[in-house]
Structure 1
Amino acid sequence: MRKKWLMSVLALLLLVSCFPLFASKAEAADYSQGVDLSGTTATIWFKSTVSTSWTDVHYKVNNGAQMNLRMTYSSSNARYEQAVTGVSSGTAINYFFTYNNGTPAFDTGWFSYTAGTTPTPTPTPPNPSGSIYSIPAASIPTAPSGSLSLKVMNGTGGAYPDSQIYWGVLGINPANGQWSYLDLNGNLVPISPALNDASGHLTKNGVNYANIYHTVSQASWVNLPKITSGRMFLSVGSPLYIKTYTEGFAGPDINNLTDPNRNIYFDFVEFTVDGSGYHGNTTRVDAFGFPIQHRLVNLSGSYDRTVGELESETRAGIFTKYQNEVPAAFKSLATDQAPYRIIAPIYGSFAPGGANANYFAGYSGYSTKDILRCDGALTDAATAAAINRHVYTTSNWNNVANYYNAAPANYYAKFWHDHSISGLAYGFPYDDVNGQAAYLEVGDPKGLIIRVAW
């Protein structure tokens, strides 16, 4: 959603036409699976105990390129199979499955196999009641036509009570073109400068701000009507301090040392709801505040998909992993505004005048600033994405296995892909090229669930 909706829509359609990456969480009771080795051929197999008419396997051999294939059903073995040839002793295969149970599609966890051994599942955390997957799709209330039901979940594991998790939605009401905020009754209420001083307003450092926020404890489900350029601000411990105007609002500016939100833990989700459905995403284009999961379910039950950081990730763990995994030039992005956020490169030492302002020098002919902002002299989406992913000088810009394999590359963006559901993340403005963004879209939305984790 970061540049043009059309780009995101086309990328998503191309991706979904291959296989359903954004599937729901699988139930282990639905299937058994394994790998059989005969000579140098390993057969990955999947045996369903539910109503399955197709199964896809996604696998990597020795951490090579990921293959995504529709499996063949073996009547004699009553299971789905995919042969992998050229397997010698010690060859490692990592794989997971996407399968259907009637209409919905589900993703399993990752499994690993080394030739000559028994495959074992990659450890996955339990899914307690606080999991975004714990809400049955059938339990989501059906909203009035043209809208959907919205729920914000507390996934902080006790770090913050429901009364300390704040959310607020701002956007344009397509019915009248007015900038508005969403109240708990599902109404879009026009905003203006007067809202900053209205009854119940917020105050920080002697300055008044609009109070457009709610807490998780105030409502289980809220009706979300059609809205254009919607943004849901999320924060813990404190609401955000945002000035409202008739023509828009002044949101948090992490680059401004005097911004009242610099010492608040916050994040956001962006979306549009229109005549063609729901279109939305989580984003790391500016910063990481805390883990978010973003789940979308449709009315017919054929679409139930989740993006965002993996539920197994904790905020503290992400900060530690970031320092351990990114190259030296990128490490300070996790300390510049700690403990509140990990900032994007352009807000740190990669900005003009910074120590890494010339990080991409000599690679493509574009400035580091334009490459990271995908702006200025660099507005072609595919080119901008190829440079960030370090495939600009290759002949194939769409082979995901080649992304971020050498410097200079946007290793900040790589990190979020490595720690997100299905490897999907918005790490820079044109990260939707080749379907890599954490983007969800469906024409008949029923429910939207946003989980704030810690």
Structure 2
Amino acid sequence: MRTRNASAATAAHRAAPARRRAAWATLAVAVASGAGLTVVAPSAPAEAAVPATIPLTFTNNSGRTEPIYIYNLGTLLSTGQQGWADAGGGFHPWPGGANPPAPAPDASIAGPANGQSTTIRIPKFSGRIYFSYGQKLVFKLATGGLVQPAVQNPSDPNRNILFNWSEYTLNDAGIWLNSTQVDMFSAPYAVGVKAANGTVKSTGHLKSGGYQGFYNSLKAQPGGWANLIQTRSDGTVLRALAPGHGIETGALPSTVLSDYVNRVWTKYASSTLTVTPFADQPNTKYFGRVSGNVMNFTNSAGAVVTSFQKPDSDSILGCYKLLDAPNDLVRGPISRTLCAGYNRSTLLTNPNQPDAGSAGFYQDAVTNQYARKIHDQMADGLAYAFAFDDVGHHESLVNDGSPQQAYLTLDPFN
């Protein structure tokens, strides 16, 4: 369940709420653990053991002159403790929090100037690498753990800071490192990993002109989508909120996807939606039919295995609430597939989900325009524009079982 921002203390107090789990969705079985995330992955063979820390080279190609601050925050997988890592990869557990939240220790690492690189070491974490321009981020500790930025809240102390983050897991089975826009589109960056054979995989780069192209396209999109953009008083464009946060703040109508949902409901009242959630299990299929306000899914034996109420736009855009996706083998995989189909508006054009290719994504007039515009501007077409954008492997993720080095590159704002 996505944590709502009811207050500064409870709103931002989460290391990885369910709707942000895109970073880990493809990499392992993720189990919520307090405000953090425990990742269970296969053990690596001894000869391929991943060292306790690996280098991450952080390169600043942004073209901007402000100082850069880096933070590596997360859960130490060997102990389950939450904390931060210094530039050498040393782990520091968070001290106890308070109510109201108390300032967290300064976990910042000085980043490179424009045109320069800095190499730090990252430990076996499930967490985030934040970076900010010109100003340090404000982190606080509540009694339940770390309070992270939640800039949809206008009183969040990080609201007027230009920043972004990447999500990663490094464990004995390797690294999973992504670029994400699940919560917002902001300062552009890409991620990469070097394998044992020396090859480098990367993702997250925008097309030339893609940063401005995204904002220009969003501004031109009728229906409230332009209201997702947040600027600073000096005119600096800071970010575009993800549409779920837009509904939360009133920037986007709560009925933004209702017309599409109504049409889906009508279609599958008299026909069947077939979901094959596992690519490696083509014979595992579930069959959805609408009856009243419920879509029931049956298995091949005809038994009802789970049911979904008619989802609202917020449930779809956040992949939670009425489209909750527990870490099981039935409801969760079906829900993930439905969430992807609604966001990409493919449920009317293809009764067999998920779609194998992206050619038919976002073609309906009623769709997740934010996600559509992000994917349009990515150099490789891949992004985490909503929580289950990994359905069908359309996510911006690099993975390697024996990583030699990781990379995070700040890109130009053009």
Q: What band does the TM-score fall into relative to the shorter chain?
A: 0.5 to 0.7
Q: Highest CA radius of gyration, 1 or 2?
A: 1
Query: How much identity, in percent, do the aligned residues show?
Result: 27
The count of residues paired between Structure 1 and Structure 2 equals: 306
Amino acid at match of 2:161: I
Hey, what's the Cα distance between the residues in 2 that align with 1:179 and 1:222?
A: 19
Equivalent residue in structure 2 for 1:384, among 315, 334, 339: 339
Is contact 1:373-1:428 (8 Å) kept?
Answer: yes
1:169 equivalent to 2:114? Answer no
Equivalent residue in structure 2 for 1:431, among 389, 398, 401: 389
Hey, what's the Cα distance between the residues in 1 that align with 2:252 and 2:239?
A: 20
Once the two structures are TM-superposed, the CA of residue 439 in structure 1 deviates from its matched residue by 1.1
Cα deviation per residue 1:393-449 (whole Å; 9 max; x = unaligned)?
222431310000112110100111111131000111111100011111110011111
1:368 equivalent to 2:265? Answer no
Q: For residues 256 and 6 of structure 1, do their structure 2 counterparts lie closer, same or farther at Cα, with a shift above 3 Å needed?
A: closer
Once the two structures are TM-superposed, the CA of residue 230 in structure 1 deviates from its matched residue by 1.0
Q: For residues 447 and 370 of structure 1, do their structure 2 counterparts lie closer, same or farther at Cα, with a shift above 3 Å needed?
A: same
- SS of the residue 1:300 aligns to: coil
Amino acid at match of 2:342: I
Equivalent residue in structure 1 for 2:351, among 383, 392, 395: 395
Equivalent residue in structure 1 for 2:62, among 156, 165, 171: 156
Once the two structures are TM-superposed, the CA of residue 346 in structure 1 deviates from its matched residue by 1.6
Hey, what's the Cα distance between the residues in 2 that align with 1:336 and 1:366?
A: 31
Amino acid at match of 2:229: A
Amino acid at match of 1:366: P
Is contact 1:291-1:313 (8 Å) kept?
Answer: no
Q: For residues 343 and 266 of structure 1, do their structure 2 counterparts lie closer, same or farther at Cα, with a shift above 3 Å needed?
A: same
- In the alignment, what sits opposite 1:189? 92
Q: For residues 253 and 244 of structure 1, do their structure 2 counterparts lie closer, same or farther at Cα, with a shift above 3 Å needed?
A: same
Amino acid at match of 2:228: L
Is contact 1:294-1:307 (8 Å) kept?
Answer: yes
Amino acid at match of 2:107: I
| Superposition RMSD in Å | 2.9
Q: For residues 392 and 166 of structure 1, do their structure 2 counterparts lie closer, same or farther at Cα, with a shift above 3 Å needed?
A: same
Is contact 2:50-2:173 (8 Å) kept?
Answer: no
- SS of the residue 2:203 aligns to: strand
Extract unaligned runs of 5+ from structure 2: 1-15, 29-48, 265-309, 325-334
Q: For residues 407 and 320 of structure 1, do their structure 2 counterparts lie closer, same or farther at Cα, with a shift above 3 Å needed?
A: closer
Equivalent residue in structure 2 for 1:312, among 204, 208, 216: 208
Once the two structures are TM-superposed, the CA of residue 371 in structure 1 deviates from its matched residue by 0.7
- SS of the residue 1:421 aligns to: coil
Hey, what's the Cα distance between the residues in 2 that align with 1:189 and 1:335?
A: 33
Once the two structures are TM-superposed, the CA of residue 244 in structure 1 deviates from its matched residue by 3.3
Q: How does 1:288-327 map to 2 (within 5 A)?
A: 288-301=185-198, 303-310=199-206, 312-313=208-209, 315-324=211-220, 326-327=221-222
Once the two structures are TM-superposed, the CA of residue 191 in structure 1 deviates from its matched residue by 1.2
Q: For residues 186 and 5 of structure 1, do their structure 2 counterparts lie closer, same or farther at Cα, with a shift above 3 Å needed?
A: closer
Hey, what's the Cα distance between the residues in 1 that align with 2:407 and 2:149?
A: 23
Q: For residues 436 and 355 of structure 1, do their structure 2 counterparts lie closer, same or farther at Cα, with a shift above 3 Å needed?
A: closer
Is contact 1:178-1:247 (8 Å) kept?
Answer: no
Q: For residues 385 and 241 of structure 1, do their structure 2 counterparts lie closer, same or farther at Cα, with a shift above 3 Å needed?
A: same
Hey, what's the Cα distance between the residues in 2 that align with 1:384 and 1:336?
A: 30
- In the alignment, what sits opposite 1:31? none
Is contact 2:166-2:177 (8 Å) kept?
Answer: yes
Hey, what's the Cα distance between the residues in 1 that align with 2:250 and 2:91?
A: 43
- SS of the residue 2:323 aligns to: coil
- In the alignment, what sits opposite 2:120? 222
Q: For residues 237 and 188 of structure 1, do their structure 2 counterparts lie closer, same or farther at Cα, with a shift above 3 Å needed?
A: same
Hey, what's the Cα distance between the residues in 1 that align with 2:218 and 2:250?
A: 24
Hey, what's the Cα distance between the residues in 2 that align with 1:382 and 1:194?
A: 38
Cα deviation per residue 1:222-254 (whole Å; 9 max; x = unaligned)?
221211x21111110111001136853100011
Moved over 6 A (4+): none
Q: For residues 235 and 149 of structure 1, do their structure 2 counterparts lie closer, same or farther at Cα, with a shift above 3 Å needed?
A: same
- SS of the residue 1:418 aligns to: helix
- In the alignment, what sits opposite 1:421? 379
- SS of the residue 1:310 aligns to: coil
- Report the TM-score when normalising by structure 2: 0.67
Extract unaligned runs of 5+ from structure 1: 11-142, 196-206
Q: How does 1:185-264 map to 2 (within 5 A)?
A: 185-193=88-96, 208-217=103-112, 220-227=118-125, 229-244=126-141, 248-264=145-161
1:449 equivalent to 2:373? Answer no
- SS of the residue 1:402 aligns to: coil
Higher mean C-alpha deviation, range 230-239 or range 209-218: 209-218
Q: For residues 429 and 194 of structure 1, do their structure 2 counterparts lie closer, same or farther at Cα, with a shift above 3 Å needed?
A: closer
Higher mean C-alpha deviation, range 434-443 or range 216-225: 216-225
Cα deviation per residue 1:336-370 (whole Å; 9 max; x = unaligned)?
7772111111222x348665211221244310110
Cα deviation per residue 1:169-200 (whole Å; 9 max; x = unaligned)?
111112322112111222111111479xxxxx
